[in-house]
Amino acid sequence: MIYIVDDDVSVCQATARLVKSAGLSAQAFTSAEVLLRSSHPTASDCLLLDIRMPGMSGLDMLRQLRRSGIQTPVIFITAFDDDQTRQEARSMGAVGYFLKPFDDQALLDMISFATGLHGQ
């Protein structure tokens, strides 16, 4: 299961369709808080997280997951890019970092790589 977390509903829907078109299961959430209340991130093979969201940011969510010992692979998707954010994401163990609009095939390839890591 691929969990997608983005405050933009259209991005959630489009990304979920993309993931499903590759034969994978996907579930979209409009905030980190909604995901954390409704399901447990360890049930996913990979998390696609937006970085900037109202409330808990993607980086904050990854911090919380890592503090809890959850090592689910995380791929960031963002419309806002800067060196510091990229470095922070990398230092926390994100396996991927994509700028919106992202290349569909590149994202699917990264999901495949990340889910392979999770299965080890």
Instruction: Please name the helix (run of DSSP H) or strand (run of DSSP E) that holds residue 78, with its range, or none.
Output: strand 74-78
The tens digit of pLDDT for each residue in 17-49 reads 999 999 999 999 999 999 988 867 777 899 999
Domains of the chain: total: 1
Contact yes or no for 49/58 (Cβ under 8 A):
yes
Q: What is the CA radius of gyration of the chain?
A: 13
The tens digit of pLDDT for each residue in 42-72 reads 778 999 999 999 999 999 999 998 898 888 9
Residue 77 exposure: Cα atoms within 13 Å on the Cβ side: 24
| Residue-range definition of the domain harbouring residue 48 | 2-118
CATH number of the domain where residue 19 is located: 3.40.50.2300
The sign of the dihedral angle between the CA atoms of 66, 63, 2, 81 is negative
Q: Record the tokens describing residue 92, joined without a space.
A: 């926390």
